[in-house]
Amino acid sequence: MTTTQPVRPGEWFDTGMGLDDIDAGQFRMDITTDRYTDPEYVRRERDSIWLRVWQVAGRESELPEVGDWKEYQLLDQSFILIRGKDRQIRGFVNACRHRGNTLCHGKGNSKRGILCQYHLWSYDLEGKLKGVLRQEENDLTALDKQGLGLLPISAECFAGFIFLNPNPDAEPLAEYLGEVMDLLSPYHLDEMDIVLDVREALDCNWKVVMDAFEEGYHISGIHPELLQVVMVDPSTTRYRFFDKHSVSCAPFEVAGIKYGLEEQLEGIMKLPETFPSVTASLPRFQELIGGYRDETGELKLPDGTTPRTVLQTATRETLTGMGFDVSGLTDAQMSDNHGWVLFPNFFMTVRAGEATVILAQPHESGDPHKCYWHIISVMWLPDEYKDALRTDHIEVEEPGSFKYFLALQQDYEQMPRQQRGLRNNRLDHMSLVKEEVVIAHYHSVVDRYLSGATTSEDRQ
Ligand code: FES
Ligand SMILES: [Fe+2]
């Protein structure tokens, strides 16, 4: 029977490069350590990367109403994002055009526009200067006012995320993300709700955070419990590199590698500790597995059926049954998490129905040994669960006071330890192994930005 199924973007996985296909020699595998410790490097990154790239500044759902605004702080720069009357989100420099006072702090709503507290100049939601105190007496004509609107920056939305670029003449977001948009669209991330939103200052450089999520090489060392479900096997792991971004995946399949069937099932049953939305699919998973047990209870799976493929069937049926459209996703995307790196600071692990994003942000002090990580987990929820699972933003003030889910907690504890090691003067570079090729690609993009050589042509 020939299939009429249209090609699903997730099928890239079948033709993606395995570790053996990758020529790691195209990237530098020795990464200099000054990029994690040198304050001069922070200044160069600020000018050459941060002020010139698209970066995620939050979720669209944070600004649901006309007039909702939020501040986005980036090193010593501050921006505001505001939802206008036309429902479009716009971005501006967070400074009054009169004498520069900061306009917004935190989050809020100002339906009628933004009012500067200092001398009461006011701006409409599109950033136009609206009112000037004693305008006539101060010789400020309508013509003068036209040039004194808020300074715009670039802002666009994709997948429910608000992207911002401090450069007002930035290339469109679609150009920056390129093919990434087509590959992520079938997940319908814009229809998902925030179920975890935590930000905390860490004692490490922001790139230490990025590096930590760009390889699975550390699973054996600090996440041994995950070995029951995922094993970085060079023959099944897939990679794809774009001009600035990348995606990789190690299938949730340990069959025949180390564990027996029952241990794999156990591993799947424990998945919700790290991937909570799997919970919804487990009853159907158990039902399907039950159908494969003989009268003695022994599990006999037909050829080609594994715990992973059963999880895929259960997930597709469950999500579809709840009303979520997963028709654009492949079977592998029902079970496997894909790890996306969007330059410069966005890592996302995503599978059907849920995603966790880690945003690494430099610290406003400019201290290279400090940064923030901002964790945003989103999940597709049927309407009846939305209120119960809605969560507020948590800003962790007391280090260690927030307990992350297990795998994240383990990463959280590791990162400051790495930074302490990187501070040693004698250690001038790190030495990557091939399994860490995503880190090598990532730093090659950092280097291109710092040298001013960035192009938008794809590297497939
Ligand atoms: S600084 Fe804003 S009105 Fe004067
Ligand atoms: Fe980790």
Ligand nearest to the CA of 117: 1
Residues with CB under 5 A from ligand 2 (ion): 411
Tell which CATH classification among 3.90.380.10, 3.60.21.10, 3.90.1300.10, 3.10.20.30 matches the domain 9-41+191-451: 3.90.380.10
Predicted confidence band of residue 261 (pLDDT cuts 50, 70, 90): confident
Atom of ligand 1 nearest to the CA of 116: 2
* H helix intervals, 336-436: 383-389, 406-422
Ligand nearest to the CA of 223: 2
Q: How far is the CA of 438 from the centre of ligand 2 (A)?
A: 14
Residue nearest to atom 1 of ligand 1 (CA): 99
Q: What's the whole-number mean pLDDT along residues 11-20? A: 88
Among 131-135, 316-320, 417-421, whose mean pLDDT is lowest? 131-135
Q: At what angle do helices 278-290 and 307-322 cross, to 10 degrees?
A: 120
Ranges of each domain in the chain: 9-41+191-451, 55-169
Q: Is the pLDDT of residue 404 over 50?
A: yes
- Predicted confidence at residue 459, as pLDDT, reads 38
259 or 440: which carries more pLDDT confidence? 440
Q: How far is the CA of 307 from the centre of ligand 2 (A)?
A: 24
Pocket test for ligand 1, best of 98, 134, 148 (most atoms within 8 A of CB): 98
Q: Using one digit for the tens of pLDDT, what is the confidence trace for 59-76?
A: 999 999 999 999 999 999
Distance of CA 263 to the CA centre of its chain: 31
Rounded distance, CA 107 to CA 65, Å? 12
Q: Using one digit for the tens of pLDDT, what is the confidence trace for 153-181?
A: 999 999 999 999 999 999 999 999 999 99
Pocket test for ligand 1, best of 119, 138, 150 (most atoms within 8 A of CB): 119
Q: How far is the CA of 95 from the centre of ligand 1 (A)?
A: 9
Sheet holding 129-131, edge to edge: 114-115, 122-123, 129-131
The pair of structure tokens assigned to 168 is 């007002």
Q: How far is the CA of 214 from the centre of ligand 2 (A)?
A: 9
Its sign, for the CA torsion 331, 335, 336, 342, is positive
Q: Is the pLDDT of residue 275 over 90?
A: no
Percentage of residues in the chain having pLDDT higher than 70: 96
The pair of structure tokens assigned to 287 is 């039902």
Ligand nearest to the CA of 140: 1
Rounded distance, CA 143 to CA 58, Å? 35
Q: How far is the CA of 77 from the centre of ligand 2 (A)?
A: 30
Predicted confidence band of residue 127 (pLDDT cuts 50, 70, 90): very high
Helix (H) or strand (E) holding 278: helix 278-290
45 or 253: which carries more pLDDT confidence? 45
Q: How far is the CA of 3 from the centre of ligand 1 (A)?
A: 65
Q: Phi/psi at 417 (nearest 5 deg)?
A: -65, -40
Q: How far is the CA of 115 from the centre of ligand 2 (A)?
A: 44
Pocket test for ligand 1, best of 96, 122, 135 (most atoms within 8 A of CB): 96
What single letter denotes the amino acid at residue 374?
Answer: H
Rounded distance, CA 285 to CA 287, Å? 5
Q: Using one digit for the tens of pLDDT, what is the confidence trace for 304-334?
A: 999 999 999 999 999 999 999 999 999 999 9
- Predicted confidence at residue 457, as pLDDT, reads 43
Q: Which residues line ligand 1 (CB under 6 A)?
A: 96, 98-99, 101, 116, 118-121
Place of tokens 């948009």: 181
Rounded distance, CA 354 to CA 10, Å? 16
Pocket test for ligand 1, best of 103, 118, 134 (most atoms within 8 A of CB): 118
pTM of the model: 0.94
Atom of ligand 1 nearest to the CA of 99: 1
**Each residue of 176-211: b (16+ CB within 10 Å) or e?**
bbbebeebbebbbbeebbbbbbbbbbbbbbbbbbbb
What single letter denotes the amino acid at residue 106?
Answer: G
Closest CA to 284 of 307, 258, 310, 261: 310
Residue nearest to atom 3 of ligand 1 (CA): 119
Predicted confidence band of residue 460 (pLDDT cuts 50, 70, 90): very low
Domain 9-41+191-451 and domain 55-169 have a common topology: no
Predicted confidence band of residue 252 (pLDDT cuts 50, 70, 90): confident
The pair of structure tokens assigned to 164 is 């911002």
- Predicted confidence at residue 264, as pLDDT, reads 84
For residue 459, give Cα distances in angstroms to 192, 246, 433, 456. 31, 10, 21, 9
The pair of structure tokens assigned to 313 is 């069937």
Residue nearest to atom 4 of ligand 1 (CA): 119
Q: How far is the CA of 133 from the centre of ligand 1 (A)?
A: 10
- Predicted confidence at residue 144, as pLDDT, reads 86
Q: What is the average pLDDT score of the chain?
A: 92
Q: What's the whole-number mean pLDDT along residues 346-374? A: 97
Q: Is the pLDDT of residue 429 over 60?
A: yes
Query: What CATH architecture applies to the domain 55-169?
Result: 3-layer Sandwich (2.102)
Predicted confidence band of residue 5 (pLDDT cuts 50, 70, 90): low
Q: How far is the CA of 143 from the centre of ligand 1 (A)?
A: 19
Helix (H) or strand (E) holding 207: helix 206-212
Its sign, for the CA torsion 247, 275, 359, 201, is negative
153 or 267: which carries more pLDDT confidence? 153
Rounded distance, CA 451 to CA 436, Å? 23
Ligand nearest to the CA of 120: 1
Q: What's the whole-number mean pLDDT along residues 374-403? A: 93
Atom of ligand 1 nearest to the CA of 133: 3
Closest CA to 22 of 234, 214, 179: 234
Ligand nearest to the CA of 411: 2
What is residue 36's three-state secondary structure? helix
Q: Is the pLDDT of residue 15 over 90?
A: no
Pocket test for ligand 1, best of 116, 134, 135 (most atoms within 8 A of CB): 116
- Predicted confidence at residue 458, as pLDDT, reads 39
- Predicted confidence at residue 92, as pLDDT, reads 98
- Predicted confidence at residue 133, as pLDDT, reads 94
Q: What's the whole-number mean pLDDT along residues 413-417? A: 97
Q: How far is the CA of 132 from the centre of ligand 1 (A)?
A: 9
Predicted confidence band of residue 1 (pLDDT cuts 50, 70, 90): very low
Q: How far is the CA of 201 from the centre of ligand 2 (A)?
A: 18
133 or 251: which carries more pLDDT confidence? 133
Atom of ligand 1 nearest to the CA of 100: 1
Q: Using one digit for the tens of pLDDT, what is the confidence trace for 230-246?
A: 777 778 889 999 999 99
Atom of ligand 1 nearest to the CA of 103: 2
